[in-house]
Amino acid sequence: MINLKPNQVFADICCSDGFFAIPAAQIVGKNGKVYALDIDKNAISVLKERAKKEELKNIVTTVGNAEETVLCEECGDIVFFANDLHDFRDQSKVLANARRTIKASGRLVDVDWKKKSMLMPGPPPRIRLSETEASNLIKNAGFDIETIGEAGPYHYIIIAKKS
């Protein structure tokens, strides 16, 4: 859905233990790169171990705060957020850092929980961002929204490019 390809650079912001980073590393291949950022050093340790087992040498891990970390300057083909945009203290700063990371032809992808009650676990609806709230934050950070769509019954996806 996000059109990730071999040889690209994928930046996973708040990657946890690599749920998305590991398959992204497999897709981009040995000539691509995955930057994986998380504040939780234990999650990064698990990701490193998983990458080692999979013999993936194209993942660069960073323990850090997304408000204060720019993984690279204008290198990312895709900067990816999954289920976490609502968690940041300063979403505008995180998105500004994402903008610095994305190359001119790159895309920002936000997959997040729909803002409604559901049986599926996840954050309480009161702290989730609706598609409109998330897209407004993304627009205000200097992006143009390309698409807003469904990503299954519990999630939406926003894909944006630099303005």
Distance in angstroms (rounded) separating the CA atoms of residues 125 and 146 = 25
Which band of pLDDT confidence, cut at 50, 70 and 90, is reported for residue 49? very high
Whether pLDDT at 66 is above 80: yes
The structure tokens listed for 151 are: 């990503």
CATH 3.40.190.10 fits 9-162, yes or no: no
The structure tokens listed for 72 are: 């690279």
Q: Smallest Cα–Cα separation from 94: which of 70, 66, 134, 74?
A: 66
Q: Smallest Cα–Cα separation from 146: which of 100, 138, 154?
A: 138
- Encode pLDDT of 103-155 as tens digits: 999 999 999 999 988 877 789 899 999 999 999 999 999 999 999 999 999 99
Rounded to two decimals, the pTM is: 0.95
Distance in angstroms (rounded) separating the CA atoms of residues 142 and 124 = 28
The structure tokens listed for 8 are: 């690209």
**What value, to the nearest 5°, has the Cα angle with vertex 152 and ends 81 and 100?**
15
Q: Say how many CA atoms lie within 13 Å of 10 toward its Cβ.
A: 30
Whether pLDDT at 58 is above 90: yes
Which band of pLDDT confidence, cut at 50, 70 and 90, is reported for residue 5? very high
Percent of the chain clearing pLDDT 70 (strictly above): 100
Give a three-class secondary structure readout of 17-51.
CCCCHHHHHHHHCCCCEEEEEECCHHHHHHHHHHH
> What is the per-residue pLDDT for 19?
97
> What is the per-residue pLDDT for 59?
98
> What is the per-residue pLDDT for 29?
98
> What mean pLDDT comes out for the span 6-30?
98
For the chain, the C-alpha Rg in angstroms (whole number) is 15
Which band of pLDDT confidence, cut at 50, 70 and 90, is reported for residue 1? confident
